[in-house]
């Protein structure tokens, strides 16, 4: 195991001095201005413009994007998916063979676990999302459970490992992007190996020719550019599982793994934007405030809209699928002056969005309420 990962496999009693640490991952949190490295990540990995919250299905070009390394350009004629490990019958499937297999289509809201990170103080240095690292698409392909059942999962299986074709270095560790799922999650009927997004061929940046989509989990679980699936009899201890994607207090805290999406709602900013500040301007009078809400912990049960800190319930619509966002709306009669609008969702587990985010070292699972400043003329 690489040296960097071993420090997380047991909690060391003597905290390491910073000078002794290997290249920290992610970077030390910063109170300073945005760095050139963050800008570089931000332009490669774009978010979803908030006005796209108007549509139930996010057009592929507006869906957020998060790629750790380079986008691999894969020749479909030479590509195969290998399924092996603790199975009765290991197989290698061509894209054609996958297209012939039974298929399903599932509406899924994907959200990056680091969404909201740049709003934390201090700011964990990584992809500097504001609030828009989210999108909802119709993902179609082969149910993972079908292929695993065909391959015959052995009794001692505990996890399934998914490896992408993209390679790079993170935290000083050279790796192919790889993540595992507990066997019970991998056998859920709605987990899909998708070769289509919104009825079209998967775009290169979203995982062509094949990606995993795990409804309800933060995006890191949905491995793109799949090259192999391996059934494991021991938990996976790779970088993206043991080091990245953990709720940690500091670099030496082993932390707990990030999994299901926390409840969140967002509002379509009303009115028109100012080009540079993106502050909103709208005329006095009635306006319908609208947005979407989602959670990986059961259906959204309530959305409240805050006008200058005073909360009122919004009207909820049914989502397209259990792990797709639902639409909400609330009429408001805007009166002249400066206002602050916000929204707050509560899910079936009873969890609500916090007004102030509890900080964690990697900036994971942020779901603090959105606040929008508007000028009513």
Ligand X SMILES: Nc1nc2c(c(=O)[nH]1)N[C@H]1C(S)=C(S)[C@@H](COP(=O)(O)O)O[C@H]1N2
Name the DSSP class of 263. P
With CB under 5 to 8 Å by kind, the binding choice for 107 among ligand X, Mo ion, none is none
Residues in contact with ligand X, total (CB under 6 A)?
18
One residue of 68, 107, 123, 264 binding ligand X per CB under 6 A: 68
Contacts with Mo ion, 48-77, as mask; x by CB under 5 A: ------------------x-----------
54, 44 in Cβ contact below 8 A?
Answer: no
**From the CB of 183, what's the least distance to ligand X, in Å?**
20
Name the DSSP class of 338. E
Beta bridge partners of 287: 332
With CB under 5 to 8 Å by kind, the binding choice for 64 among Mo ion, ligand X, none is ligand X
With CB under 6 A as the contact rule, which of the stretches 9-17, 27-35, 59-67, 246-254 interacts with ligand X? 59-67
125, 27 in Cβ contact below 8 A?
Answer: yes
Sign of CA pseudo-dihedral 277, 282, 286, 292: negative
> Which positions from 218 through 237 interact with Mo ion, judged by CB under 5 A?
219-220
Nearer to ligand X, 74 or 142 (CB): 74
Q: Does 363 bind ligand X (CB under 6 A)?
A: no
Q: Does 177 bind ligand X (CB under 6 A)?
A: yes
Q: Does 236 bind ligand X (CB under 6 A)?
A: no
Residues with Cβ within 8 Å of 277's Cβ and at least 6 positions away in sequence, in order, are none
Hey, how many other C-beta atoms are within 10 angstroms of the C-beta on 39?
A: 11
- Could you give the CA distance from residue 88 to residue 156 in angstroms, rounded to a whole number? 12
Residue with tokens 């799922």: 181
Q: Does 161 bind ligand X (CB under 6 A)?
A: no
**From the CB of 196, what's the least distance to ligand X, in Å?**
13
One residue of 8, 25, 58, 64 binding ligand X per CB under 6 A: 64
CA angle 257, 263, 265 (to 5 degrees): 140
Q: Number of helices and strands (H, E) in the chain?
A: 6, 24
- DSSP percent split of the chain into helix, strand, coil, nearest 5: 15, 40, 45
Contacts with ligand X, 288-327, as mask; x by CB under 6 A: ----------------------------------------
**From the CB of 214, what's the least distance to ligand X, in Å?**
10
Q: Does 241 bind ligand X (CB under 6 A)?
A: no
Residues near ligand X (CB under 6 A) are 63-68, 110, 112, 164, 166, 177, 206, 219-220, 222-225
């Amino acid at each position: 195991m690489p040296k960097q990962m071993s420090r997380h496999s047991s909690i060391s009693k003597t905290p390491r001095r910073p000078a002794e640490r290997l290249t920290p991952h992610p970077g030390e949190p910063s109170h300073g201005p945005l760095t050139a490295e963050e800008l570089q990540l931000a332009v490669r990995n774009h978010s979803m413009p908030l006005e796209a919250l108007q549509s139930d299905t996010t057009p592929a070009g507006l869906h957020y994007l998060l790629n750790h390394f380079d986008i691999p350009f894969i020749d479909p004629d030479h590509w195969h998916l290998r399924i092996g490990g603790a199975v009765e019958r290991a197989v290698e499937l061509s894209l054609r063979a996958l297209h012939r297999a039974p298929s399903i289509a599932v509406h899924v809201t994907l959200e990056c676990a680091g969404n909201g990170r740049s709003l934390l103080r201090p700011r964990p240095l990584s992809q500097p999302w504001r609030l828009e690292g989210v999108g909802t698409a119709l993902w179609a392909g082969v149910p993972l459970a079908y292929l695993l059942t065909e391959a015959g999962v052995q009794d001692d299986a505990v996890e399934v490992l998914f490896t992408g074709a993209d390679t790079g270095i993170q935290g000083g560790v050279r790796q192919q992007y790889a993540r595992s799922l507990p066997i019970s999650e991998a056998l859920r009927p709605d987990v899909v190996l998708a070769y289509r997004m919104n009825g079209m061929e998967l775009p290169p940046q979203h995982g062509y020719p094949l990606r995993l989509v795990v409804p309800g989990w933060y995006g890191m679980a949905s491995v793109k550019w799949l090259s192999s699936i391996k059934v494991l009899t021991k938990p996976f201890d790779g970088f993206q599982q043991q080091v990245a994607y953990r709720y940690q207090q500091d670099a030496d805290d082993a932390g707990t793994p990030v999994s299901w999406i926390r409840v969140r709602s967002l509002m379509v900013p009303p009115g028109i934007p100012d080009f540079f500040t993106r502050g909103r301007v709208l005329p006095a009078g009635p306006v319908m405030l609208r947005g979407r809400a989602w959670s990986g912990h059961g259906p959204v049960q309530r959305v409240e809209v805050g006008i200058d800190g005073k909360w009122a319930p919004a009207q909820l619509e049914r989502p397209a699928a259990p792990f797709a966002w639902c639409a909400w709306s609330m009429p408001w009669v805007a009166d002249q002056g400066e206002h602050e609008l916000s929204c707050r969702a509560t899910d079936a587990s009873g969890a609500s969005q916090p007004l102030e985010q509890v900080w964690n070292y990697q900036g994971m699972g942020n779901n603090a309420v959105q606040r929008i400043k508007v000028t009513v003329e």
